[in-house]
Structures are given as C-alpha cells and as structure tokens.
Amino acid sequence: MDGGGHRITDTLVGRIVAIAGAQITIQLDAAAGSDDATALQIGTLVKTQTPKSIVYGVVRGLTIAEPGSTSPDAEIQMADISMIGETSVSDAGELLAFQRGMSRSPSLNRPVYATTSTDLARVYAPPNVPSVNVGAIHQDTTLPAHVLTDELLGNHFGILGTTGSGKSCTVVLLLSAILDEHPNAHVVMLDPHNEYTKAFGDRAEVLDTNTLELPYWLLNFDELMEVLFGAQADEGSAEAAILADLIPQAKREQIKDPTKGNHFTVETPVPYKFTDLIRRIDQEMGKLDKSDAVAPYRRLRARLVAMQTDIRFQFMFGGISVTDRMSDVLSQLFRIPVDGKPISIVDLSGIPSEILNVVVSVICRLTFDFALWCERSMPILLVCEEAHRYAPAIPERRYEMTKQALSRIAKEGRKYGASLCVISQRPSQLAPELLSQCNTLFAMRMSNNDDQEHLRGAMSDSSIGMLDFLPSLGNGEAIAVGQGVSLPVRIEFKNLPEEQRPHSSTAVFTESWKTGNQDMDFVHEIVRRWRRL
C-alpha cells in the first residue's frame, strides 16, 4: 500500500532481491514474459513502490542465473534495473507529476510491476512542460514521443548515427517541429553538402557563395593568416608582424573622426580597404634598401592580390567599395528580423576547401560573440552537420581555430543563450569536448565499436544498457537520453513527407546508367559551374 492509499494492481514481473544505490536486481516471477505485452526487454520501463511514491526504472540487463535446468520454469531469471525517477503520492492518494531521482529507495522483497500505457504517458509526456512531438515510444507505439524544448535547446544536444540511419531526416523533423511551435526562432545551420537547402521550404534563408556576405575585415588575426598562408601560416613570421602593424593603421584610416580609432587592434571588427593595406605595404617597401628585407613584403603583397582577384573568394574579398555592413551581415546570418525565415542555412559545399575551416570558425565565433553582447535577449541555435569534418579529435593545427570557437560555445554558450546541435556519423572522430558538453543525445544505428565506446563515455550509467540495441536499430529509430527527454527512451521518429526530406540519399547508379541522357551541354554546364562563371 502506498502513502495516501494508492495501490499498484498491475501485472507482477518479479521481486527485488538486491539493491546497490540506484541499481536494483529483481528475480523474475515464473509467469513473467509469458505474455508478449509484459515481456521484459533491455530498455523496458518497470515500476515498484515506496511508502510515499511509485518509483520507475529501466531494464539494463537480463540473465538466467542457473541455465540448463530440466524445466524452464525451474530456472532462476534475473533482471538488472536502473531506477531513474518517481511519481510522488499526495496525502489524498493522488499521483503527482513525474520527476527524476528518488526521494526514497525501495526495499528488498518489494514487488516490481510492468508499466501500463497510463504510466508511460505520465512519465514520457510530463504536463505543463514545453515540448514537441517527434514520433512514438517504441515500448508502446500508440504513445507519442515528446522532446522537452527548453531542456534540449538550453543545454546542447547531439544527433549521432551511421550513414543511412535516417540522421538527416531526424534533423529536419526535430528542427521543423521546433519551428512549428516557435516561428520566431533564430537557427543557423552549417550544411557541408547542400543537403538541407530545400528541406525547410520558404522558412529558410539559404546562404551560398553567391549570397553569403562574410567580409575579410571580420576575420581575426589567426583566421586572416590561415586564409593567406594556410599550412605555412606562422604568427612569428615577418609577414605576420607586418600585418599586425599595418592593419590597425588601415582601420584607423577609415574613421573620419580623428579622436576615435586609437584603441583599434588587428582583432577589432571594423572595415578597412585592401587597397589601403597594399598601399601601405608599398610605402614600407620603398623605405627599405636590402632585398632580403623587402622579400616578406613582396610575398605578403602577392598573397593579398591573389586573394582579392580569385573569384572563388569573392564572398569574402569581393567588392570595390568598403562600407561598414557588420549589422547587415549579422542580420542576414542570425535572421533579425525573422521575416518568416527563422533558419539560415549556410551552404558550405561551394566554399573552397582551403578556407572552409576559416569560414566555419568565423561563423562560430560570431555566434558566440553576438550572444555575449546581446546579453541573452535573443537565444541562437547553431546546427553543425558533420561536425567531425571541421572539429575532429586529431590535434592538427588547421582545425584548432574552429575547435576553439566551437568549444567556447560548448563550454560557455549556455550562459549567454548560444546553443549547439552537433551532428556526426563518427563520434569517435569528433573532438571529445563537444560531445561531453551535449546534455541530450539521440543515438541512431551505429555498428562501429569505437563510436559506441565514445557514446558509452558520454551517457549516464542508466542508459548504457540501451546502447546494445544500436547496431540493430531500424531507420528513423534512436535511443534518446539526457535532459531533453523525461527518461532514456527508444524513439521511432515520424516519417517525413517526400518534399521535406534532405537531399542526402546515395546516388542511384542503376537508374542513372539506364537512361544515359548526358550530352556535351551537360559537360559544358559542369565546367561553367566549376569555374563559377
């Protein structure tokens, strides 16, 4: 009997025979599992009682303690349970709202029962909490699966799964559900393969190399050195010293008021003209006599001119006139005002590979700095598709800027309203500081052992047993754990309409090779796009 007279009268599955903190072991009742509706599986939710509450737990292991008996009924069957939350009972005998944790542990010999649809609805869809419906509970597909919106967005989250598991569709489904409820959101998505540009329809502002505006004067010193010199960039080089000296001068030259600009450094995001910078380089070279002293100026000048004239970098170095359009850049990127388009999709597929990491670094840095200076008045979600490409675990110099920018959001962003969604098919190759900061994880089908081990390291003990299902999950299924869901749960996501599906499917060789309708016009068009004519 529970406090206030509430009694559990559901199907018995066993009794508690061992307790260790939040972990309990139960000996299954001989009749347990004879009914498919109550048969226990890894991840199944069960319940027991204390004098003042009903306590819920998740099955994390099943064993037969003494197999090989002459009769299956004589075998001792055990289940390991992780207790994860409770529903308190009022003095009047009414069940209160579900909450994580236990105020009091159950005792030995207490009976354990199968949960009902009413239990599942109470646990997985808490009332009066902002949430979105993304699919169904695997344990009972008649019940909707809800994601807790504020907990999801306020504490970073990750969507992880192998290619073909339905990861991209899950991204669209989850974001679309949030945007349906919150049409004035501010979402920035990094799209490396041009997968998502049509998935959100008219609600998305698509930024590619023709529409993206990311002027060079927004780059910090490390980013500019990376753009100009790539792997040869050296902050201790003569070229770096020249830039550090001349760029602040070029910035001050743009300021009409002579009383301002004395505090400008190479990092200050104010406009300056490339022509002014090149002119100052020429002036400095004219003061030098020795050819070896002139050499770094010549190399630097050549790189600046090359970048300014390369059509591939037009989105960064294009334009003759230089005006202060920082507000316009931020307005475009962060959707201010929203104007019916709460998500901006940055199509990275056309960005030259040698500066891709710099572009991602700038966007991440702008996201954090904007959130910092707007003082939490406008939360922003940054969605990083294939995050392992530009924030890998390997310690290579060319990735450090981007990893630092993303890590800053991961570690400090929630204080300022900057949130991360990390998407990856190879969590073992992802910078560990990103995954460790994600307080909600959606783990889809995954067979690689290294990837599974990294997930185990990021999940709570109560969820680890559910990872055994990862290799066998169907398309569009996920194990969801963390603050964004009431309890660890296996979700079957909704099917997306065809017009909303991202362009992420593998090329169909047989269909293309049957038609064979490509001709020379097709090749000419490819060459034109290749040259960006």
User: Does residue 527 lie within any of the structural domains?
Assistant: no
- Count of domains for the chain: 3
Q: Is pLDDT of 479 > 60?
A: yes
CB 460 within 8 A of CB 438: no
- The percentage of the chain sitting over the pLDDT mark of 90, rounded to a whole number, equals 42
Shared-domain flag, residues 463 and 328: yes
User: Does residue 133 lie within any of the structural domains?
Assistant: no
Could you tell me which residue, 166 or 67, shows the higher pLDDT?
166
pLDDT of residue 489: 87
Shared-domain flag, residues 182 and 256: no
Q: Among residues 525, 441, 457, 448, which one has the least CA distance to residue 158? A: 441
- The percentage of the chain sitting over the pLDDT mark of 70, rounded to a whole number, equals 91
Q: Break the chain down into helix, strand, coil percent, rounded to 5.
A: 40, 20, 35
pLDDT of residue 4: 46
User: Does residue 343 lie within any of the structural domains?
Assistant: yes
Q: Among residues 381, 417, 418, 384, which one has the least CA distance to residue 403? A: 384
Calpha distance 112→29 (Å, rounded): 9
| Residue 471: CA count within 13 A, CB half-sphere | 8
* Cis geometry, peptide bond prior to residue 337 (ω within 30 degrees of 0): yes
User: Does residue 449 lie within any of the structural domains?
Assistant: yes
Shared-domain flag, residues 188 and 253: no
CB 204 within 8 A of CB 344: yes
User: Does residue 49 lie within any of the structural domains?
Assistant: yes
CB 313 within 8 A of CB 322: no
Calpha distance 423→226 (Å, rounded): 25
Residue 354 — pLDDT band, cuts 50, 70, 90? Answer: confident
Residue 1 — pLDDT band, cuts 50, 70, 90? Answer: very low
SS3 425: coil
User: What CATH code is carried by the domain that includes residue 151?
Assistant: 3.40.50.300
Shared-domain flag, residues 277 and 312: yes
Calpha distance 176→171 (Å, rounded): 8
Shared-domain flag, residues 105 and 21: yes
The two three-digit tokens of residue 15, written as one number = 């009794």
Which tens digits make up the pLDDT trace of 189-218? 999 999 998 899 999 999 998 899 899 999
User: Does residue 136 lie within any of the structural domains?
Assistant: no
pLDDT of residue 395: 85
Shared-domain flag, residues 267 and 282: yes
Residue 71 — pLDDT band, cuts 50, 70, 90? Answer: low
pLDDT of residue 422: 96
Shared-domain flag, residues 185 and 148: yes
In terms of residue numbers, what domain contains 299?
218-318
**Ranges assigned E (strand) in 183-286:** 187-191, 204-207
Say how many residues make up the chain: 533
Q: Is pLDDT of 419 > 90?
A: yes
The two three-digit tokens of residue 29, written as one number = 């009742």
Shared-domain flag, residues 390 and 484: yes
Shared-domain flag, residues 413 and 456: yes
User: Does residue 80 lie within any of the structural domains?
Assistant: yes
Could you tell me which residue, 344 or 33, shows the higher pLDDT?
344
Shared-domain flag, residues 262 and 225: yes
Could you tell me which residue, 173 or 294, shows the higher pLDDT?
173
Shared-domain flag, residues 355 and 397: yes
pTM given for the model? 0.86
Residue 526 — pLDDT band, cuts 50, 70, 90? Answer: confident
SS3 per-residue string spanning 317-363: HCCCCCCCCHHHHHHHHHCCCCCCCCEEEEEHHHCCHHHHHHHHHHH
Tell me what the mean pLDDT of segment 141-153 comes to.
91
Q: Which residue has the tokens 């690689």?
A: 448
Q: Is pLDDT of 341 > 70?
A: yes
Tell me which DSSP letter residue 214 carries.
-
Calpha distance 275→281 (Å, rounded): 10
Q: Is pLDDT of 73 > 60?
A: yes
Q: Is pLDDT of 8 > 70?
A: no
The two three-digit tokens of residue 156, written as one number = 């970073």
Mean pLDDT over the full length of the chain: 86
Give 337's contacts (C-beta < 8 A, 6+ positions apart): 331
Residue 2 — pLDDT band, cuts 50, 70, 90? Answer: very low
Residue 517 — pLDDT band, cuts 50, 70, 90? Answer: confident
User: Does residue 135 lie within any of the structural domains?
Assistant: no
Name the packing angle between helices 397-416 and 221-229 (round to 10°): 150
| Residue 173: CA count within 13 A, CB half-sphere | 23
List beta partners, residue 481: 441
Final residue before a domain boundary, out of 284, 300, 318: 318
Shared-domain flag, residues 406 and 459: yes
Final residue before a domain boundary, out of 318, 348, 363: 318
Give 180's contacts (C-beta < 8 A, 6+ positions apart): 132
Tell me which DSSP letter residue 213 carries.
-
Final residue before a domain boundary, out of 124, 153, 178: 124
Calpha distance 319→170 (Å, rounded): 39
pLDDT of residue 199: 92
